A and B are shown apart, each in its own frame.
Chain A
Amino acid sequence: MTPELIPEARAERDDGALVAACLDGDGSAWEALIARHGALVWAVARRAGLDEDDAADVFQNTWTIALEELSRVREPQHFARWVGRVARHQSMRVRRGYGIARKALPRVAREDIDVNVPDEELVRIEERGRVHAALARVGDRCDALLRLLYLETVRPAYDEIAARLGMRIGSIGPTRARCLQRLRGMLDGGGNA
């Protein structure tokens, strides 16, 4: 995501409100939708094995369709799922254009290519995007702690974490739990973290 594109206040509006605002001519709502779900669209295109150029085309086509079809989205509150499906469809069209030329995808490992990107995968990508959008708002201390605990290739020892974050070793466990609970609360309560 690109936080600079979207003031925090706009991020609080849920997708249904943003879609409605777009239809009322609010350009900032459109930017908020892109800022919130752009990474999802991009991830679907890349997950389908497209290189950056083709993924960029899919990205543009997806948002073009989204804009044209916005008034016909039946469940605007589930815009993420809808735009993810559009991205998947657009990605498949490009992939069909690749034809049999799998060798035309040198930069993407074959096992990373999933032409169909099933719904469950879409949900997983969407969830991943939501979780990390929420993580960015859960607080600097929590963000730093959870990243150290769960995102490092080799998890640092607690004494190292304590030194890096200026915490007592004994507070790492409880803080970690509180941070994850807060994160879950934001996801459960906000819908669009």
Chain B
Amino acid sequence: MPDPKRASSGPGAPGGGRHPRFRRLLDVADGLFDDVRVRAASDHVESGCAPCRDELASIIALRDRVADGPLEAPPRAALRRASRLFVAARVRAGVAVVQRVIATLVMDGRMAAAPALRSAGDGRRLLWTIGELELFATLSSGSRGALLRGQFLPADDEAPAPTGAVRLVRDGRVAVHAELDDDGEFAARCLMPGTYVIEGEVGDVAFASPPFVVDA
């Protein structure tokens, strides 16, 4: 078989003539028969030189793959979801989380009164960013202490809800432990007044929030 890397034509072939170089075979593949050297190369292949015929077929196949164009890229959201599978599997397998971050409080405001709650006017909305996640929470007072509802939201709306667990820590002691549900939500009830920190492991992140106060 002719060496595609050779710089010059090779020895004679069964059908006569010299083995054409890669470039001439490519010219044949591209049908550039105006050049007498290309016609000679074509004649050589046609004369029965099996290695050159195979080489020409290989060149045509390569050229056709180029001409087929690139494959359509999958949507970026699909790529991100598939990429996150690995982290989810590590979490399921109990592998240690790979990041440890401090949550950043980006919103702390009052929320509209909720008639079902006795002291609804005390409600707050809180939003923390934790790496690429967001933790949105509402804190409202009730007859038996405060109620904190939280939900972890992925940066990509189409991504699955993060999995994991959180702890509410008051004065260095775990007051509440809660697993996230399928929607990435959790609730902590009957919170006594005090200064709390939310910490936990969600997705591949271990985090802790800055302290916040639950009033009496």
- Chain A contacts to B: CB under 8 angstroms: 1-2, 5, 22, 25, 27, 30-31, 34-35, 38-43, 46, 52, 56, 59-60, 63-64, 67-68, 125, 127-129, 131-132, 135, 146, 150-151, 173-174, 176-177, 180-181, 183-185, 187
Q: Are B83 and A5 in contact (CB under 8 A)?
A: yes
Name the distance in Å between A37's Cβ and chain B's nearest Cβ. 10
Secondary structure at the A interface, as helix, strand, loop or mixed, is: helix
Known: A67-B86, A151-B69. 9 other contacts (CB 8 A): A42-B71, A56-B74, A56-B75, A59-B74, A60-B78, A60-B82, A128-B65, A180-B22, A183-B66
Q: Is B26 an interface residue (CB 8 A)?
A: yes
Task: State A181–B63 Cα separation when bound (angstroms).
Answer: 11
Question: CA of A35 to CA of B23 in the docked complex: distance in angstroms?
Answer: 33
Q: Is B89 an interface residue (CB 8 A)?
A: yes
Q: Which residues of B contact A (CB under 8 A)?
A: 4-5, 22-23, 26-27, 32, 58-59, 62-63, 65-79, 81-83, 85-87, 89-90, 95, 98
CB proximity of A89 to chain B, nearest CB, Å: 17
Write the chain A residue with the least CB distance to B75: A56
Query: A40 contacts which chain B residues (CB < 8 A)?
Result: 71
Contact of A34 among B72, B77, B83 (CB under 8 A): B83
A166 CA / B82 CA spacing, docked (Å): 42
Instruction: Please measure, in the bound complex, the distance between the C-alpha atom of A185 and the C-alpha atom of B76, giving whole angstroms.
Output: 31
Return B26 CB to nearest CB of chain A, in Å: 5
